[in-house]
Structure 1
């Protein structure tokens, strides 16, 4: 191999090394772009975090007709999110009446059933109050 032949080989080897560097830079750019996309588009937003509890609005107890001529005296308090607009209780009272009317005294005595009803009430109120109510407390619960 002569000196001229070696001169021709070296630029080709440099090109191969240049291609590797370009490929590496391209992979890094794609990886950074994917990371940036995930950061701005896919990561959980602050709005997805649990809302901070705010004011508790206690409503006057109401009486609900139960099965067999019995009734339930139930008091409800609403846990609003921090910074919620003024939460008024008419939607909560209506949902409570709809949910508990016609239940039997025996079913309300069952703790698991009562918790299922409470969970259902919370779901209804979160929707009705557009996520401004995050919890419900029973302040009075008497059957007769």
Structure 2
């Protein structure tokens, strides 16, 4: 064997090993990526099925006047977004009124003066109302809409 033939044979061997390594790496990436994508879509499907469907909106009859800190007041009224699971009959709003009074009583005017403050307190109120109106793992209410929000 000549010197040139030995060099060519030695050069071919690493190329074949690199090709084989590259094929193994690509196969592993495809398999892992496919498994990850499958798991993602399966989990996504479960959460999409659990999302409640909007039903009717129930308005509270009258606005409430709530005492805030430092002698200020809040005139508040809101509506409840029911889920389709609640059916055609409107939910009793008494408990929602009580939860709103408890949530807003004693808050400062500064807390309610900013959009961020109002949204944060509304988020807390909505979570409490949804929890209160959940029966046998069925959400009867899924949201709160302000219809009056006046501070003094």
Matches within 5 A, 1:93-132: 93-130=97-134, 131-132=139-140
2: CA distance between counterparts of 1:121 and 1:54?
20
Matches within 5 A, 1:33-44: 44=45
2: CA distance between counterparts of 1:141 and 1:43?
37
Q: Summarize the Cα distance change of 1:43–1:58 in structure 2 as closer, same or farther, 3 Å threshold.
A: closer
Matching residue within 74, 77, 81 for 1:75: 77
Quote the offset at 1:83 in angstroms: 3.7
2: CA distance between counterparts of 1:73 and 1:93?
12
Any unmatched runs of 5+ in structure 1? 1-37
Quote the offset at 1:129 in angstroms: 0.1
2: CA distance between counterparts of 1:117 and 1:65?
15
Quote the offset at 1:46 in angstroms: 7.8
Quote the offset at 1:101 in angstroms: 0.3
SS of residue matched to 1:136: strand
Q: Summarize the Cα distance change of 1:47–1:103 in structure 2 as closer, same or farther, 3 Å threshold.
A: same
Matches within 5 A, 1:1-144: 44-45=45-46, 48-59=49-60, 60-85=62-87, 86-130=90-134, 131-144=139-152
1: CA distance between counterparts of 2:45 and 2:131?
21
The TM-score, its normalising length taken from structure 1, stands at: 0.66
1: CA distance between counterparts of 2:118 and 2:47?
33
* Number of residue pairs matched by the alignment: 105
2: CA distance between counterparts of 1:102 and 1:67?
5
Any unmatched runs of 5+ in structure 2? 1-38
SS of residue matched to 1:51: coil
SS of residue matched to 1:117: helix
Quote the offset at 1:49 in angstroms: 2.8
CA RMSD of aligned residues (A): 2.1
